[in-house]
Amino acid sequence: RKEVEQDPGPFNVPEGATVAFNCTYSNSASQSFFWYRQDCRKEPKLLMSVYSSGNEDGRFTAQLNRASQYISLLIRDSKLSDSATYLCVAAPVMRNEKLTFGTGTRLTIIP
Amino acid sequence: DAGITQSPRHKVTETGTPVTLRCHQTENHRYMYWYRQDPGHGLRLIHYSYGVKDTDKGEVSDGYSVSRSKTEDFLLTLESATSSQTSVYFCAIRDGSYEQYFGPGTRLTVT
């Protein structure tokens, strides 16, 4: 079992819709979590950090459920520019030397 | 964007040749990381550095070595490249917070 698991998708969603995807992690010692977005043939870019129960930034909301060991990312009013691969990342005990990356969820927003 | 550059951006080399990839930062951050990204795998840590001349191994360090003689530069060397080292290599940096920021990547092909 992978330490961080994501549904690879692809998720094809009409513009303006709300989309949510989950990420599960197996290491209960994980303390901090991140969502990165990665465009095709580009580097990952930090989207959100999650240190407590959740975080919200504009149209994006991340929620952490420690009991069930999953993190979700919700995108409201999706835009064409949201098309990307979203990477879920877990880090144990606030030490970033051992980040564990999921393989990513591919999202395509359809006009 | 974080001040991180990588060179070269693309390289094709033959099996058995040595290859050095360079990561350069202008942020004066203490922590630097080398990852590789392959289809079906999340980003995997090769080596990281927590200061000048201070480095440690990641999960896929076999066949790679690193050096950090200056704060701004972190070099990754493939002593004798193999086809299994064909990949996209990303450098990342971190300051005192917990977020990592990635460079633009190097696409390496070993023929």
Residue pLDDT, tens place only, A16-72 = 999 998 999 998 888 789 999 999 999 999 999 988 888 999 999 999 999 999 999
Neighboring chain B residues of A45 at a CB cutoff of 8 Å: 102
| Residue labelled with tokens 């999953």 | A70
The span from the CA of A108 to the CA of A82, in Å, is: 8
The pLDDT of residue A95: 54
Do B42 and A96 lie within an 8 Å CB cutoff?
no
The span from the CA of A75 to the CA of A97, in Å, is: 29
Token pair, residue A100, equals 């564990």
The pLDDT of residue A53: 83
Tell which residue, B56, B7, B100, has the closest CA to residue B47. B56
Whether A76 and A45 have beta carbons less than 8 Å apart is answered as no
Do B98 and A94 lie within an 8 Å CB cutoff?
yes
The span from the CA of A59 to the CA of A35, in Å, is: 14
Neighboring chain B residues of A57 at a CB cutoff of 8 Å: none
Chain B, residues 31-90, CB within 8 A of chain A, namely 31, 33, 40-45, 48, 50, 56, 90
| Confidence check: pLDDT of B73 > 60 | yes
| Confidence check: pLDDT of B3 > 60 | yes
Residue in B41, B98, B102 nearest the CB of A91: B98
The span from the CA of A109 to the CA of B29, in Å, is: 36
B100 touches chain A (CB under 8 A): yes
Do A44 and B103 lie within an 8 Å CB cutoff?
no
